């Protein structure tokens, strides 16, 4: 995707999630999509209050998830163009992606925003708050992940969507939580600093 804003325009990818915990699948998606679409930057945006996951399972407090996302980002080479944004953790109330996109565009009206989504997350987008407005404001970059049925190309009414082929890493936060609960190692799947926070806080042990 080239910038539609021309000279001086900026492009940013937004990879939001609960990141409970962040893992190599998240980092690779951020790095690979940024490269594939030549985005200036990609923001990892941990949500503060993942309203759609409320009541499903206990969610690790947002400040700890933010600390883990920072630790994950820290393994990337300097100049990776992948950054962490704490704006959804700082904001009160349920974390709506539309609010994040609006805030980014208010700060920089020329900003072209691309939401980076795994296919599982993209399929749920019609359930998101003010998704019509979101689709008007942002492009979508959808990546496959193991376990999400490849199926027919995703069609979202009104979306400027492109599927980006990246290598698929069979890793999920749920699988990592299960490994921790069973006392199995999670090295390599998460950054050392992420494993350190999990250890320190005793996360994911039933
Ligand atoms: P959980 O298992 O708890 O749902 P998760 O691994 O799916 O965790 P999320 O924080 O829910 O992680 O996902 C944030 C975003 O990252 C979503 O768009 C999701 O599709 C994407 N994502 C997560 N893991 C991968 C992966 N291995 N490859 C590509 N995209 C991924
Ligand atoms: Mg998920």
Q: In this predicted structure, what is the pLDDT of residue 150?
A: 64
Q: In this predicted structure, what is the pLDDT of residue 87?
A: 97
Percent of the chain with pLDDT strictly greater than 90 = 86
The Cα 176–Cα 159 span in angstroms is 32
Q: Is 165 exposed, middle or buried (0-12, 13-18, 19+ CB in 10 A)?
A: exposed
What confidence category does residue 9 fall into, taking pLDDT thresholds of 50, 70 and 90?
low
Atom of ligand 1 nearest to the CA of 15: 15
What would the mean pLDDT of 110-126 be, rounded to a whole number?
95
What would the mean pLDDT of 23-35 be, rounded to a whole number?
98
The Cα 169–Cα 88 span in angstroms is 26
Least confident of 85-94, 151-160, 189-198: 151-160
Which ligand is in closest contact with the Cα of 29? 1
Q: In this predicted structure, what is the pLDDT of residue 38?
A: 97
Residues across the chain: 206
What would the mean pLDDT of 38-51 be, rounded to a whole number?
96
The Cα 157–Cα 4 span in angstroms is 21
Q: In this predicted structure, what is the pLDDT of residue 201?
A: 98
Q: How many angstroms separate the alpha carbon of residue 118 from the centre of ligand 2?
A: 8
Pocket of ligand 1 (CB under 6 A): 17-20, 25-26, 29, 117-118, 120-121, 143, 145, 169, 171-174
Q: How many angstroms separate the alpha carbon of residue 117 from the centre of ligand 1?
A: 8
Q: Is 88 helix (H, G, I), strand (E, B) or coil?
A: helix
What would the mean pLDDT of 177-190 be, rounded to a whole number?
98
Q: How many angstroms separate the alpha carbon of residue 49 from the centre of ligand 1?
A: 16
What would the mean pLDDT of 140-144 be, rounded to a whole number?
96
Atom of ligand 1 nearest to the CA of 170: 27
What confidence category does residue 151 fall into, taking pLDDT thresholds of 50, 70 and 90?
low
- Residue 5 clears pLDDT 60, i.e. is over it: no
What confidence category does residue 115 fall into, taking pLDDT thresholds of 50, 70 and 90?
very high
Q: How many angstroms separate the alpha carbon of residue 7 from the centre of ligand 1?
A: 33
The Cα 149–Cα 144 span in angstroms is 8
Written as six digits, the tokens of 3 are 């910038």
Atom of ligand 1 nearest to the CA of 24: 27
Which ligand is in closest contact with the Cα of 122? 1
Q: How many angstroms separate the alpha carbon of residue 35 from the centre of ligand 2?
A: 23
Q: In this predicted structure, what is the pLDDT of residue 2?
A: 43
Q: How many angstroms separate the alpha carbon of residue 158 from the centre of ligand 1?
A: 24
- Residue 122 clears pLDDT 70, i.e. is over it: yes
Atom of ligand 1 nearest to the CA of 168: 28
What confidence category does residue 6 fall into, taking pLDDT thresholds of 50, 70 and 90?
very low
Q: In this predicted structure, what is the pLDDT of residue 94?
A: 95
- Residue 187 clears pLDDT 90, i.e. is over it: yes
Protein residue with its CA nearest to atom 27 in ligand 1: 25
User: pTM of the full predicted structure?
Assistant: 0.94
């Amino acid at each position: 995707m080239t910038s539609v804003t021309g000279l001086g325009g900026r492009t940013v990818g937004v990879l939001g999630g609960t990141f409970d915990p962040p893992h190599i699948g998240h980092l690779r998606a951020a790095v690979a999509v940024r490269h594939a679409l030549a985005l200036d930057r990609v923001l990892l945006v941990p949500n503060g209050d993942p309203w759609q996951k409320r009541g499903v399972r206990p969610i690790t407090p947002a400040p700890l998830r933010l600390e883990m996302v920072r630790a994950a980002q820290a393994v990337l080479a300097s100049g990776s163009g992948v950054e962490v944004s704490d704006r959804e953790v700082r904001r009160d109330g349920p974390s709506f992606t539309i609010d994040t996109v609006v805030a980014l565009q208010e700060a920089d009206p020329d900003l072209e925003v691309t939401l980076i989504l795994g296919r599982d997350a993209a399929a749920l987008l019609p359930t998101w708050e003010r998704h019509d407005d979101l689709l008007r404001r942002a492009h979508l970059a959808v990546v496959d992940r193991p376990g999400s049925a490849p199926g027919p190309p995703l069609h979202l009414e009104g979306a400027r969507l492109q599927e980006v082929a990246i290598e698929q890493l069979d890793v999920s936060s749920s699988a990592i939580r299960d490994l921790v609960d069973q006392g199995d190692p999670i090295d390599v799947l998460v950054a050392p600093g992420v494993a350190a926070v999990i250890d320190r806080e005793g996360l994911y042990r039933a």
